[in-house]
Structure 1
Amino acid sequence: MMKDSRINKKVNATLNAVETIQEVKVSPFLKDRILNNLTVDKEETLKVWSWFTPKFQLATLIVVILLNIYAYKVLTSDNYNTTVEEFVDTYGFGDETYTSIFD
């Protein structure tokens, strides 16, 4: 019984404390300022990528394709193959057979 009366007093004290809370005064333009701040952040993120327009994207795509075509032609040319073969011969990376104890 003693515990119940203490708990009831604490509950009543907590509920009475709610009555002492005063109303908060909020500026009538608070909502407008918050919404304005949110839209400013979105506009700044759009400005970061605004230079990457569709025309620039197309030009970048064309440059990348041309660079890939050039790289493919260089890799398949005979001059590149002879240069690689000379490198392999010079540094001994050829198809040599190695003996192993596991064979």
Structure 2
Amino acid sequence: MKNKEVINQQVEDTFKVLDSIEEVKVNHFFKHKVLQQINVEKAEKKSVFYWFTPKLQLATLCILLLLNFGTIFYLFNNSVDNTNTVSGIDAFAQEYSLQSENNSILN
């Protein structure tokens, strides 16, 4: 029983303390000042490519895609015209004049 009485007394004391708390008056600009100090203290790291904005990324992607499509188109158009040419090692040897009648390794 004593335990319940002690607990009830502590609860009542706690409520009395809560009733005695007064309202704290703060300057109207307190929040603004604190947020400004936080922003000043916060050091933002700029990445290496901070100038590489999404607009610039999209433009770069479009240019690369156009170059790739142009290269593929050029490759397929030239492959049709070059069907009569010699291919492979023979073409390389002929281009750089590496053909010889001698079978020696040291030309």
TM score, norm. by length of structure 1? 0.38
TM score, norm. by length of structure 2? 0.37
Per residue, is there more helix in 1 or in 2?
A: 1
